[in-house]
A and B are shown apart, each in its own frame.
Chain A
Amino acid sequence: MSNMINPAWALLIGVATLIFIGFIFWPNIGLISILLRSRHNTHREQVEDALKFLFDCEYKNIFCGLQSIASNLDISEEKAARLLGHLTSMGLIAVHGDTFSLTDSGRSYALQVIRLHRIWEKYLADVTGAGHLEWHEAADQKEHRLSIEEADRLAAQIGNPVFDPHGDPIPSSTGEIPEHTGQPLSALKVGDTGRIVHVEDEPKVIYAQLMALGLYPGTQLHVIESADGKIKFIANNEECLLTSHFASAVTVVLIPHEIQVNYALLSSLKLGEKAEIKGISPSCRGQQRRRLMDLGIIPGTLVTAELKSASGDPVAYRILGANIAIRKKQADHIFVNRVIAGQ
């Protein structure tokens, strides 16, 4: 014992070592993740990102100049000009005055990248537990690394999806993509009922705000007021108010039928209360959604809140003669109508 290092020093060294290891390996801010990130902005990525952006403008009929390309790629205009010159010499784009358009080979390259991006987003959303704010960024990096064969295999594994989780169509492997449909939410009139088909995932601040309001592709909404650049509507049984700037990031298609507005959440049932299922929120997706539906959580099914776990969450519900425990977080996504006893 006597020849051993003083314990106070040993403790200091131990703590310092832990801090050092944390400094290197800590996720997101550690040395390793910073190094990995700095490797990302390669030439190939810039080429592919530029093509993607040009395609997006073309698809949505937006004017696309040098300035918007530079700001989208987050590089100087000078660099953007050099990049575009390079793309022209590769035969991927054509220049007319100050506008740029994709050539056929440029378009099919762009579609390929978009396909990889959207398949990866769909995969993250349906299969992994990645949160909805992470999909886009992760796919922005993965799209440059995934090979076409890997993407095809992945697509087959998740059932060859045709829409990504934001509601965007996924181009087919031969490069086909449907016409752009729907209109921005900001263009809807009072009394219109629509279904969200797409929520723009950039800029991230707006996207996060819209997600927080529960505006997912598939959500139905009903416009009740529209004036002074603001639009008021009912979605997910709640009134929402958006400025037209925010509302233009949401694309909807008009649907004819009236929307159900007076439902409660499954999680609000007290023990012993009975209710009829009205539907599952579109934010619950993929396998989780399918699992709930397979258990019988379908419009029309009757459920009773039966048991509360010793820690308060989850709650067991009696559904079709079986007791099924569901976490509050999922029960928040299930809409019901209370059934009054005796009815």
Chain B
Amino acid sequence: MAASNNTEKEEEAILSLANKLRWDLGVDLHDIVIESIYEDATRIARKTVEIKGEQRGYYLDKSIDKIVTSRLLGFPIMFLVLAVVFWITIAGANYPSRLLSGLFLDTIHPFLKGFAANIGMPHWLTGVLVDGAYISVAWVVSVMLPPMAIFFPLFTLLEDLGYLPRVAFNMDSLFRKAGAHGKQALTLSMGFGCNAAGVIATRIIDSPRERLVAIITNNFSLCNGRWPTQILIATLFIGSAASPHWAGILSAGAVVGIAVLGIFFSLVVSWGLSKSILKGEASAFSLELPPYRPPRILKTLYTSLIDRSVFVLWRAIIFAAPAGVVIWLLANIQVSGSSLAEHFIHWANPFALLFGLNGVILLAYIIAIPANEIVIPTILMLTVVSTGIIGMGEGAGVLFQSGSLADIKDILQAGGWTLMTAVNLMLFSLLHNPCSTTIYTIYKETNSLKWTLVSTFLPVAIGLTVCFFVTQLWRLFML
């Protein structure tokens, strides 16, 4: 006992002496240590290492850098590269998407229904499982998988090549003015693929304050799940407002405009957060501009398919299946003569019209919290249910993708849609809560209920405000 007491006392004495000595060493001890290490290393290196000129490829890299970061060409090249990536994604995903939905919806779905009927499954169980859960999973896979399988590898290739750091380098001054981290440019463009992936990507930002800013504003990057909605609505309502010759360009311009508006909101909200609840100054930003490298294509394909696409898709499926069940139930459970869906739509309509939307859209956005991809089919299905159009779709509460664009426009116009509704839907699609996968990811990454709620409800509030003013101004000046 006595011995251990003694050593404990000695230990305490040594520790308190050590503490006192740290006070004597002053504030810049860390500097002195690092400086002396580097000094020694430099002395040794000068004695032993001989350097012949610059590294291989240095001058080529330098000339490429001169072009892609030049005052004149820097930003045009950046927008061009991003536009090409988006175009390849949208155009390239079209065919496999149709193939997959043909396989899942036209071949496997009838087969499953027939199988269920053969084994004598009760009607409601077939409805919930086959028409509900199966179809919404099939929808998410066929709409989401092809663009992700194209977008993520392309993005990773740009990253591998070394171009992305140059984008961050060019965009940094905008983010600095918004009080955000320079690397937010990278997580923002990642969000164009998938917000959940963008939120995970914020791990590259080491300052906690700026990381939160990046997480909260990532939702303003128009994600893959929302591109199809934007493209469809722009084609149907905005493109048709112009002569056929200009229709394509006008609707494409509208979609790009929405995406740019998203970047604008991202910067403005970052600025607002840095001035209020996440007050602080932009922290130091040092970014390495690595030498350009030929990308390793196979490895890139593998890692981006496995790490990003499959991972994100799996979570979306987990959330989409229950959503399908909910849609089917809402459209099929009858209370005093009409379905639950119709009750909600009638109840929400007056409120929704203030924002230039309607009850169907609000309900669709609530049901589609698990996955933004199912917004359009849900809207179509609910419109059919509530307006009582006959001979459309595959039965109450069954998601479907109608054959022709004209059919879709007819259904929507029967539901009371105008150009104003379309514009508001496009704005609300950009400015609403993140999908549940993203919300869950935000919770996992921040470990905080408070910030999860802020990131969920802040965009909705902004979206409703924007839609409200657009609608009322529209009515004031266009009526």
- 9-residue interface stretch from B20-28, B256-264, B320-328, B364-372: B20-28
A150 contacts partner chain B, Cβ-Cβ < 8 Å: no
Q: Check B208 against A130 for contact (C-beta < 8 Å).
A: no
- 9-residue interface stretch from B85-93, B166-174, B222-230, B242-250: B166-174
Q: Check B23 against A162 for contact (C-beta < 8 Å).
A: yes
Q: Check A10 against B354 for contact (C-beta < 8 Å).
A: yes
A314 to B175, CA, bound (A): 11
Chain A 183-214, CB-CB to B under 8 Å as 1, else 0, gives 00000000000000100000000000000000
B73: A residues at CB distance < 8 A: 310
Given that A162-B23, A310-B70, A314-B172 are known contacts, is A128 also in contact with B208, CB under 8 Å in the complex?
yes
CB contacts under 8 Å to B, within A269-299, are 280, 282, 284, 287-296, 298-299
Given that A7-B473, A292-B286 are known contacts, is A169 also in contact with B281, CB under 8 Å in the complex?
no
CB contacts under 8 Å to A, within B262-320, are 274-277, 279-290
A172 contacts partner chain B, Cβ-Cβ < 8 Å: yes
A97 contacts partner chain B, Cβ-Cβ < 8 Å: no
Q: Check B284 against A322 for contact (C-beta < 8 Å).
A: no
B35 contacts partner chain A, Cβ-Cβ < 8 Å: yes
B334 contacts partner chain A, Cβ-Cβ < 8 Å: no
Q: Check B473 against A288 for contact (C-beta < 8 Å).
A: no
Looking at the assembled complex, report how far the CB atom of A127 sits from the nearest CB atom of chain B, in whole angstroms.
7
Which B residue's beta carbon lies closest to that of A330?
B284
A85 contacts partner chain B, Cβ-Cβ < 8 Å: no
A327: B residues at CB distance < 8 A: 172, 176, 182, 282, 284-285
- 9-residue interface stretch from B192-200, B402-410, B464-472: B464-472
Q: Check B20 against A324 for contact (C-beta < 8 Å).
A: no
B210 contacts partner chain A, Cβ-Cβ < 8 Å: yes
Q: Check B19 against A307 for contact (C-beta < 8 Å).
A: no
Which A residue's beta carbon lies closest to that of B172?
A314
A288 to B281, CA, bound (A): 12
Given that A287-B206, A298-B38 are known contacts, is A178 also in contact with B23, CB under 8 Å in the complex?
yes
Tally chain B residues at the interface, Cβ within 8 Å.
67
Q: Check B176 against A128 for contact (C-beta < 8 Å).
A: no
Which B residue's beta carbon lies closest to that of A138?
B279
Q: Check A27 against B286 for contact (C-beta < 8 Å).
A: no
A292: B residues at CB distance < 8 A: 284, 286
A8 contacts partner chain B, Cβ-Cβ < 8 Å: yes
A300 contacts partner chain B, Cβ-Cβ < 8 Å: yes
Looking at the assembled complex, report how far the CB atom of B136 sits from the nearest CB atom of chain A, in whole angstroms.
34
A106 contacts partner chain B, Cβ-Cβ < 8 Å: no
A83 to B104, CA, bound (A): 78
Dominant secondary structure at the B interface: helix
A326 contacts partner chain B, Cβ-Cβ < 8 Å: yes
A174 contacts partner chain B, Cβ-Cβ < 8 Å: yes
Which A residue's beta carbon lies closest to that of B275?
A27
Given that A291-B286, A293-B31 are known contacts, is A311 also in contact with B472, CB under 8 Å in the complex?
no
Q: Check B281 against A11 for contact (C-beta < 8 Å).
A: no
Given that A295-B286, A298-B34 are known contacts, is A310 also in contact with B473, CB under 8 Å in the complex?
no
Q: Check A130 against B173 for contact (C-beta < 8 Å).
A: no
Q: Check A314 against B472 for contact (C-beta < 8 Å).
A: no
Q: Check A313 against B287 for contact (C-beta < 8 Å).
A: no
Q: Which of A167, A282, A310, A323 has the most CB of B within 10 A?
A: A310
B476 contacts partner chain A, Cβ-Cβ < 8 Å: yes
Given that A7-B473, A176-B16 are known contacts, is A311 also in contact with B174, CB under 8 Å in the complex?
yes
Q: Check B38 against A323 for contact (C-beta < 8 Å).
A: no
A58 contacts partner chain B, Cβ-Cβ < 8 Å: no
Q: Which of A8, A284, A288, A311 has the most CB of B within 10 A?
A: A311
Q: Check A4 against B66 for contact (C-beta < 8 Å).
A: no
Contact among A7, A176, A307 for B475, CB-based, below 8 A: A7
Q: Check A314 against B473 for contact (C-beta < 8 Å).
A: no
B171: A residues at CB distance < 8 A: 311
CB contacts under 8 Å to A, within B67-85, are 69-71, 73-75, 78
CB contacts under 8 Å to A, within B329-385, are 353-354
A14 contacts partner chain B, Cβ-Cβ < 8 Å: yes
A19 contacts partner chain B, Cβ-Cβ < 8 Å: no
Given that A27-B275, A27-B277 are known contacts, is A129 also in contact with B282, CB under 8 Å in the complex?
yes
A145 contacts partner chain B, Cβ-Cβ < 8 Å: no
A4 to B420, CA, bound (A): 15
Q: Which of A288, A313, A327 has the most CB of B within 10 A?
A: A327
Chain A 310-324, CB-CB to B under 8 Å as 1, else 0, gives 111110100001111
Q: Check B284 against A310 for contact (C-beta < 8 Å).
A: no
B52: A residues at CB distance < 8 A: none
B169: A residues at CB distance < 8 A: 307, 309, 314, 316, 325
Chain B 140-181, CB-CB to A under 8 Å as 1, else 0, gives 000000000000000000000000000001111110100100
Q: Check B66 against A307 for contact (C-beta < 8 Å).
A: yes
Q: Which residues of A contact B (CB under 8 A)?
A: 4-5, 7-8, 10-11, 14, 18, 27, 127-131, 134, 162-163, 167, 169, 172, 174, 176, 178, 197, 217-218, 280, 282, 284, 287-296, 298-301, 306-314, 316, 321-327, 329-330
Given contacts A289-B31, A312-B71, 11 further A-B contacts (CB under 8 A): A4-B354, A14-B472, A18-B465, A130-B280, A167-B27, A288-B284, A307-B169, A311-B171, A316-B169, A327-B284, A327-B285
8 examples of A-B residue contacts, CB within 8 angstroms? A8-B476, A128-B208, A172-B19, A288-B284, A314-B182, A314-B285, A324-B286, A325-B288
